[in-house]
Chain A
Amino acid sequence: MTVGLPHFLTVGALLFSLGIFAMMTRRNAVALLMGVELILNGANVNFVAVARYVDGGVDGHLMAAFVIVLAAAEAAVGLAIVLAMFRNFGTADVNAVDSLKR
């Protein structure tokens, strides 16, 4: 059995779904950020796979590289927000931070 495009797409979808699941179930903000990383990487797998099997150019690779840079930036900003949140509210639980609602 050769490894083809569907296998890669399945892995990408699994990674994406696991990311969504993590974000929906976890309350810790850091865990949420980790979920985001999973989603982004799921997308990256799709980009690279499609580039390899369908397109044949470097467009997909390029896009993946962009996403990795973006993920790094996102992680930096996200962690900074989490840090500020923890400093202000004394917790990293995203559900506890709802002062705008009150």
Chain B
Amino acid sequence: MLSENSILWTALSILLLPLLSYAIIFFFGKKLPRKGDWVGVSLLFVSWVQALRIFFAFWQKGDPQWRVEGSVPWLKVGDFVADAGILVDGTTAVMLVVVTTVSMLVHLFSTGYMHGDRRYERFFAFLGFFTFSMMGIVLSNSLLFLYIFWELVGLASYLLIGFFFHKHSAANANKKAFLTNRVGDFGFFMGIMIFFTAYGTFNYMELFAQMQTAPLTGALLTWAGVGLFMGCVGKSAQAPLHIWLPDAMEGPTPVSALIHAATMVAAGVYMVARLQPLFDPQALLVVAYVGSITAFMAATIAVVKTDIKKSLAYSTISQLGYMVMAIGVGAAGAGMFHLWTHAFFKALLFLGSGSVIHAVHTQEMPLMGGLRKKMPITYATFLIATIAIAGVPFFSGFYSKDAILAGALAFGWTEGHMLPFILGMAAAAFTAFYMFRMLFLTFHGKPRDEERFHHAHESPFSMAFPLVFLSVLAIGSAGWQGPTDGWFGKFVAPYDLTAIAAEHGGAHAAADAHHAEADHAAVESHGGGEGEAHGDAHAADAHAAPAHGDAHGETHADAAHGGHDDHHDVHHKAHVTAMFMSIAVAGLAILMSWLVYMRGLIDTERFKARLAPVHTVLQNMYFFDELYAATVYRFTLWFSWLNAAFDRTVIDGIVNGFGYLTRVVSWFAGQVDRFGVDGLVNGVGAVVQFAGEGVRRVHTGRIQTYLAYVSFSVLVLVLVFRAL
């Protein structure tokens, strides 16, 4: 087992190896054999092995509260010192494995997919840079560095979406992604600064400790939480800022798999899950609703999209909505669990679609069909991923999605907000339907474009291997267990806030009897299996309740104190109910999909015609882009026009006025110079010249003349003195 110190160094190496890969390939890639792709793949492989070492260290320890933290002072501003630090705990270990695994496989896949691209080495450099930034988000122990790396992944995403920048649509898509993220990041920054202003620290654990002893109150805390969540809304493509993710599919498909499916978009979920103690019940309610609405809306859009990558993009948005909803309803563990399983099967789906696109050179599903025979490996792995995401039992997606739905149902029963559960369940049905639609349209049936079908071929080993590797994970990454009762519970569990408070805050928290009592409740509900995540979230509320004093918090507190047995029952019942409902719903949806797309029982064209308004709304993605065009863009344009007009009239007026004034003054000064100063100077010259003209006549240069002067003068003098 690794010691704490070596865990920190291992984590640091995981962070810096991708950066090394970036530096080597960026500066020397062109000179290296094979343009240096092997540097990226091998360094990522080392990184992956290191991540697994940390993972198994935590596996052996089996304690979700075990944290290893180390930092060095980075920036001194007056009395305040910002630390650069690494925090490794179970959640981090899980994320490290997710990111390195997918990144390594995507590196490998790209050696085949990007083969022959003109900027091949640049692509690998950017992949390394992205992986480094993502590791920074995962490993950071403070909000400050979280934000820095948050922006760096944004930059990496921008660079990679616009990798084919000569394509107009790609150049637009990366701008859209970057600007949309700015909106979310604005809120994120506000949230961070509210907490920093209140507590004077960026460090997670110190913030959590201070939240226990001196919580922020009321609306400020809610808004701070909503602010932090806005960062997640932008980065994790939640409604209403999800519009950038489908456009981001302009990037190369491996990028879509790595950044826009498995890792970067999950960063928002990771951030909210990690910072959950900073969210109050109201903010979490916002989180739950935004997540569930996103999950449902994106799932419905995915049903009508014919572009395979766009459809997968909406599927990703929908699944991210699930994770966010899970955190909102107090099942953060289930959300992280879904992040874990989803990363693998969604990366697999994207890489599979990349394999298909590589073979048929189109993204339009109506031009595919029947590829099953041509691409058996791609088909088999895509099928596995489809089953996993659809929520069929014994595949990884089932366990995580089920846990989320159970959490949502329990939340609905205890809090009276049933909408997240209903939307989640509907989204589950749509998910199963559109995924099998995609599978049937792409791989089954008759080839609809003989030309393309004829040229289709199975992908090379470098692309097939990642597919097979990921399909194993798509089946088994959940370990056939739920997030809390199984191995995952040893990694991810709600923070033991009183312990953190005692560690960082000193005596305040420990002395508070109320807190001790709440902690007791939390520990007991830990034992309660399924109820764990939810129960502890409630306990956290109980912590907050005395300071908040609001009705919502009080109910939570009562529930946590009085009836954790009831809670356990509720969660058990919710789990069973949700499980059977989700199996039934998924089964029905798959059956429907089969009937429609395989048997042709329902004519899709006629169905489309009958539901024309609905189809129009879905086809246009709920008119979000149009809405923004009509409001945000128009307002921006109008405001810019206003500013321009102000510039033109007022600012330009002032500037030009000063210019004119200067010109007038200069003219006067010029006149003074010309006539006064120049007159004086020229006058002196003229006098001298005039005098010279006169004197020069006397000075003839002839000795005789001078002698005549002398003689004459002497005569005159003689006469004068004689007269005296």
Report A's interface with B, CB cutoff 8 A. 20, 23-25, 27, 32, 94-95, 98, 100-101
Residue in B closest to A94 when the chains form the complex, CB atoms: B703
What are the residues of chain A within 8 A of B168 when measuring CB–CB?
none
B663-717 residues with Cβ-Cβ distance < 8 A to A are 699-704, 707-708, 711
Known contacts A24-B704, A94-B702, A101-B699; 4 further A-B pairs (Cβ under 8 A): A20-B707, A23-B707, A98-B701, A101-B700
In contact, B711 and A100 (Cβ under 8 angstroms)? no
State A83–B704 Cα separation when bound (angstroms). Answer: 20
State A98–B702 Cα separation when bound (angstroms). Answer: 8
Residue in B closest to A32 when the chains form the complex, CB atoms: B703
Across the A-B interface, the 6 shortest Cβ-Cβ residue pairs: A98-B701, A101-B701, A94-B703, A24-B704, A95-B702, A23-B707
What are the residues of chain B within 8 A of A32 when measuring CB–CB?
703
Mark interface residues in B31-53 (1 if CB within 8 Å of A CB, else 0). 00000000000000000000000
Shortest CB distance B299–A (Å) = 106
Shortest CB distance A34–B (Å) = 14
Shortest CB distance B511–A (Å) = 111
Report B's interface with A, CB cutoff 8 A. 699-704, 707-708, 711
Q: Which of B700, B704, B707, B708 has the most CB of A within 10 A?
A: B704
What are the residues of chain B within 8 A of A23 when measuring CB–CB?
703-704, 707
In contact, A24 and B701 (Cβ under 8 angstroms)? no
What are the residues of chain B within 8 A of A101 when measuring CB–CB?
699-701
What are the residues of chain A within 8 A of B704 when measuring CB–CB?
23-25, 27, 94-95
State A25–B703 Cα separation when bound (angstroms). Answer: 10
What are the residues of chain A within 8 A of B707 when measuring CB–CB?
20, 23-24
What are the residues of chain A within 8 A of B702 when measuring CB–CB?
94-95, 98
What are the residues of chain A within 8 A of B700 when measuring CB–CB?
101
State A25–B711 Cα separation when bound (angstroms). Answer: 13
State A101–B696 Cα separation when bound (angstroms). Answer: 9
Shortest CB distance A81–B (Å) = 12
What are the residues of chain B within 8 A of A95 when measuring CB–CB?
701-704
State A32–B704 Cα separation when bound (angstroms). Answer: 10
What are the residues of chain B within 8 A of A24 when measuring CB–CB?
704, 707-708, 711
Residue in B closest to A20 when the chains form the complex, CB atoms: B711
State A20–B702 Cα separation when bound (angstroms). Answer: 15
Shortest CB distance A37–B (Å) = 15
What are the residues of chain B within 8 A of A20 when measuring CB–CB?
707, 711
What are the residues of chain A within 8 A of B699 when measuring CB–CB?
101
What are the residues of chain A within 8 A of B711 when measuring CB–CB?
20, 24
11 sampled A-B residue pairs with Cβ under 8 A: A20-B711, A23-B707, A24-B708, A32-B703, A94-B702, A94-B703, A94-B704, A95-B701, A95-B704, A98-B701, A101-B700
Shortest CB distance A27–B (Å) = 8
Residue in B closest to A95 when the chains form the complex, CB atoms: B702
Q: Which of B699, B703, B708 has the most CB of A within 10 A?
A: B703
State A71–B464 Cα separation when bound (angstroms). Answer: 127
Residue in B closest to A27 when the chains form the complex, CB atoms: B704
State A100–B702 Cα separation when bound (angstroms). Answer: 11
Residue in A closest to B702 when the chains form the complex, CB atoms: A95
Residue in A closest to B711 when the chains form the complex, CB atoms: A20
What are the residues of chain B within 8 A of A98 when measuring CB–CB?
701-702
State A94–B701 Cα separation when bound (angstroms). Answer: 9
In contact, A100 and B703 (Cβ under 8 angstroms)? no
State A25–B704 Cα separation when bound (angstroms). Answer: 7
State A100–B699 Cα separation when bound (angstroms). Answer: 11
State A50–B707 Cα separation when bound (angstroms). Answer: 27
Residue in A closest to B704 when the chains form the complex, CB atoms: A24
State A94–B255 Cα separation when bound (angstroms). Answer: 103
Residue in B closest to A100 when the chains form the complex, CB atoms: B701
State A27–B702 Cα separation when bound (angstroms). Answer: 9
What are the residues of chain A within 8 A of B708 when measuring CB–CB?
24
Shortest CB distance A56–B (Å) = 26
Shortest CB distance A17–B (Å) = 10
Shortest CB distance B487–A (Å) = 113
Shortest CB distance A12–B (Å) = 15
State A98–B696 Cα separation when bound (angstroms). Answer: 13
Shortest CB distance A88–B (Å) = 16
State A100–B711 Cα separation when bound (angstroms). Answer: 24
What are the residues of chain B within 8 A of A100 when measuring CB–CB?
701
State A23–B705 Cα separation when bound (angstroms). Answer: 10
Q: Which of A23, A25, A32 has the most CB of B within 10 A?
A: A23
State A46–B96 Cα separation when bound (angstroms). Answer: 131
State A88–B413 Cα separation when bound (angstroms). Answer: 128
Shortest CB distance A78–B (Å) = 12
State A60–B199 Cα separation when bound (angstroms). Answer: 120
Shortest CB distance B639–A (Å) = 79
Shortest CB distance B384–A (Å) = 111
Shortest CB distance B283–A (Å) = 101
Shortest CB distance B696–A (Å) = 8
